[in-house]
Amino acid sequence: MPPNNMSIDSINATAFALMYGYPLTLYAQTFEPTLQAVGVNATQHEEGLPTQDLEVLVRPNIDTLYSKVAVDLSHADVVLSLPDVPANRYYVVPLYDFLLGNGQISPVAFFLPFNFSVTQTTQTLQLLAQLNEANLPVERSDLDRVNSMLAASGINNGNYTAPAGLDYVQVYEIMAKEFMSLLDPSSHAFNQNGWFTLLPSMSAAYPTYNDPALPVPAQVTMQLAANESYIMTFSGKPPVTGFWSLTAYDSTNYLVPNDLNRYALGDRSNLTYPDSTLLYADVDSDGAFLILIQPADVAPSSN
């Protein structure tokens, strides 16, 4: 029997609510330690680079020192003062709202896990229900639509109750479809050398690289299972004068614990070509090289 209109509305509304509310879970992961350590409007400085034991924020760069401030503007304006940074040091001060957006729609949509459990779904929407009233959309047209969709999903007066008979499989299928639509080239603003980012109306952060020689953009959506290993083949050194790295994260968006304390590989790593020559021993050297990614210290297969 096909679902009735009410169930279809509940399914679409729940998918919307999950995508709308999921960034809150990353916000909580990121700033709960800061709030516990220093409270609001105070800076928490990390004195070391991120490791498996230093959950400074989700998906950290391992070559970056982080300082975080949970800014509370509910009672007064806040002045954020920066020290005099030496000219040979690179720094950036990004400002994000409660949904981890920086003035445009949040790029956190790319972090959505589509293997949500029912428990994770419920927890995410309960969090959204409790925090949404204090963080309403600025635009009136957005406010009406968001409130309507959240109400249809089961969020009301700070509480969440799942609609009776909700088909979670259909919910996750809708989310996956929306996610894939963001990867459609028509949603991208292309720049030089294959780099692209979402159109300004959708996002303004985190550009992505695609090989211009490929007929269609390559999409990497691998999730490493416990019994799998990946070998990534690079056709040559990335053509950049800056730094680059490949970092692995676990299902909670933190660094993966391992006996080697190795969380990323890149231009400052001891990478070699197949003949054991160092990649960066000679600035002019080039050629294919491999990076092995696996869940344990196991010798790779011969092929």
- Rounded to an integer, the average pLDDT of 174-201 is 63
Better pLDDT: 65 or 178: 65
Query: Domain residues for 69?
Result: 10-182
Residue 53 inside a domain? The answer is yes
pLDDT category of residue 207 using cuts at 50, 70 and 90: very low
Q: How many helices (H) and strands (E) does the chain have?
A: 4, 11
Residue 209 inside a domain? The answer is no
Q: Is the pLDDT confidence value at 240 over 60? A: yes
Q: Within this chain, do residues 46 and 162 fall inside the same structural domain, yes or no?
A: yes
Of 166, 182, 198, the last residue of a domain is 182
Q: Within this chain, do residues 296 and 230 fall inside the same structural domain, yes or no?
A: yes
206 within 8 A of 196, measured Cβ to Cβ = no
Q: Within this chain, do residues 103 and 239 fall inside the same structural domain, yes or no?
A: no
Q: Within this chain, do residues 32 and 142 fall inside the same structural domain, yes or no?
A: yes
pLDDT category of residue 110 using cuts at 50, 70 and 90: very low
pLDDT category of residue 52 using cuts at 50, 70 and 90: confident
Q: What is the pLDDT of residue 105?
A: 42
Q: Within this chain, do residues 30 and 169 fall inside the same structural domain, yes or no?
A: yes
Q: Within this chain, do residues 178 and 233 fall inside the same structural domain, yes or no?
A: no
234 within 8 A of 293, measured Cβ to Cβ = no
Question: Which range is least confidently modeled, 41-50, 137-146, 187-196, 275-284?
Answer: 187-196
238 within 8 A of 232, measured Cβ to Cβ = no
Residue 58 vs residues 67, 176, 187, 266: alpha-carbon distances, Å: 14, 22, 26, 20
Q: Which of 9-23, 51-65, 240-254 has the highest mean pLDDT?
A: 9-23
Closest residue by Cα to residue 40 from 82, 74, 81, 91: 74
Of 182, 212, 241, the last residue of a domain is 182
Q: Is the pLDDT confidence value at 42 over 90? A: yes
Residue 271 inside a domain? The answer is yes
Q: Within this chain, do residues 32 and 134 fall inside the same structural domain, yes or no?
A: yes
Domain total of the chain: 2
Q: What is the pLDDT of residue 38?
A: 94
From CA 207, how far away is CA 198, in angstroms rounded?
8
Q: Within this chain, do residues 240 and 120 fall inside the same structural domain, yes or no?
A: no
274 within 8 A of 266, measured Cβ to Cβ = no
Residue 143 inside a domain? The answer is yes
Q: Is the pLDDT confidence value at 205 over 50? A: no
Residue 297's CATH number: 2.60.120.1600
User: How many Cβ atoms sit within 10 Å of the Cβ of residue 50?
Assistant: 23
Q: Within this chain, do residues 150 and 247 fall inside the same structural domain, yes or no?
A: no
Q: Within this chain, do residues 140 and 283 fall inside the same structural domain, yes or no?
A: no
Better pLDDT: 160 or 186: 160
Residue 212 inside a domain? The answer is no
Closest residue by Cα to residue 225 from 83, 115, 137: 115
Based on its alpha-carbon atoms, the radius of gyration of the chain, rounded to whole angstroms, reads 22
pLDDT category of residue 203 using cuts at 50, 70 and 90: very low
Residue 98 inside a domain? The answer is yes
Of 162, 182, 202, the last residue of a domain is 182
Q: Within this chain, do residues 16 and 145 fall inside the same structural domain, yes or no?
A: yes
Q: What is the pLDDT of residue 163?
A: 92
Q: Within this chain, do residues 272 and 152 fall inside the same structural domain, yes or no?
A: no
| 13-39: pLDDT as tens digits | 999 999 888 888 778 878 888 999 999
124: Cβ contacts below 8 Å, ≥ 6 apart: 18, 21, 22, 24, 25, 116
Q: Is the pLDDT confidence value at 273 over 90? A: yes
Residue 217 inside a domain? The answer is no
- Rounded to an integer, the average pLDDT of 127-152 is 85
Residue 167 inside a domain? The answer is yes
Better pLDDT: 192 or 291: 291
